[in-house]
Chains A and B, each alone.
Chain A
Amino acid sequence: MSDLSNRIQETIDAEPVVAFIKGTHEQCMCGNSERALQALRSVGTSFTAVDVLPDPAIRQELSAVSSWPTIPQVFVRGQLIGGADIIEELAQNGELERTLEEKLGPDYRGAAPERVVTVT
């Protein structure tokens, strides 16, 4: 695996909730990424954002790691949960909250502020 691929995998493994998006949590550059972040916020969870825009290789390597072709991608405890459509649907039907409670514990809400990390 490349260094970049390793750093992506390390980030996925290390962060409780990580969202690979176009832009940052404060300045989101894509409607689908924004939808995913809003869905995460709607269930009260914090997250770590990774901006894929600085280097096209991030997106390529991420898709190779996850076998998921599009951005955004949301992982909880190292497991891909979905893109914008799935995260939105799971937030609406209550499954996202259940997944977060199951994987992070009942106190997952407001555990930490939203933040950004880089993988390059």
Chain B
Amino acid sequence: MSERLQTLLEDAFPGARDVEVVDRTGGGDHFHVTVVSARFAGLSLLDQHRLVYDALAEPLADGTIHELRITTRGDA
């Protein structure tokens, strides 16, 4: 499941300096994702996280992701 999230994020943030997906519990439904991308430059944290939610809309909607932690950084 981590691989699916990794792929979705890499597709949504092409050229991102870092995309990391951690399965926090090993159960395949509690994740911490980290994205470092130039696309976040100038965006509020709210808008940065919205972009991540958009990228993961499908696994969020179908219940695959039970809990999601997000860390975003601009590629400064």
A interface residues, Cβ below 8 angstroms from B: 31-32, 67-70, 80-86, 89-90
Minimal beta-carbon separation of A43 from chain B (angstroms)? 16
Find out whether the CB atom of A82 lies under 8 angstroms from the CB atom of B69. Answer: no
- A46–B45 CA distance with the chains assembled, in angstroms: 23
Q: Is the CB of A86 within 8 A of B49?
A: yes
- Min CB distance, B67 to chain A, in Å? 6
Which of B49, B57, B60, B71 touches A83 (beta carbons < 8 Å)? B49
Is B67 touching A69 in the complex (CB atoms < 8 A)? no
Query: Contact mask B33-62 → A, CB, 8 Å, 1/0?
Result: 000000000000110011001000100100
Q: Which 9 A-B pairs rank lowest in CB-CB distance, beginning with the nearest?
A: A86-B45, A85-B70, A69-B53, A69-B60, A85-B69, A82-B46, A82-B45, A86-B49, A70-B68
CB distance from B64 to the nearest CB of A (A): 13
Instruction: Give Cα A11 to B46, complex, Å.
Output: 21
* Central interface residue in B57, B60, B67, by most chain A CB within 10 Å: B67
Report B-chain residues with C-beta under 8 Å of the C-beta of A69: 53, 57, 60
A-B contact list, 8 entries, CB within 8 Å: A32-B67, A68-B50, A69-B53, A81-B46, A83-B49, A85-B69, A86-B45, A86-B46
- B69 close to A32 (CB less than 8 A): yes
Cβ contacts under 8 Å, A31 to chain B: 67
B76 to chain A, nearest CB (A): 15
Question: How far is the CB of A45 from the nearest CB of chain B, in Å?
Answer: 18
Query: Are A85 and B46 within 8 A (Cβ)?
Result: no
Which of chain B's residues has its CB closest to A80's CB? B46
With both chains docked as a complex, state the minimum distance between the C-beta of B44 and any C-beta of chain A, in angstroms: 9
Extra contacts besides A32-B67, A82-B49, A90-B45 (20): CB < 8 Å: A31-B67, A68-B50, A68-B53, A69-B53, A69-B57, A69-B60, A70-B53, A70-B68, A80-B46, A81-B46, A82-B45, A82-B46, A83-B49, A84-B69, A85-B49, A85-B70, A86-B45, A86-B46, A86-B49, A89-B45
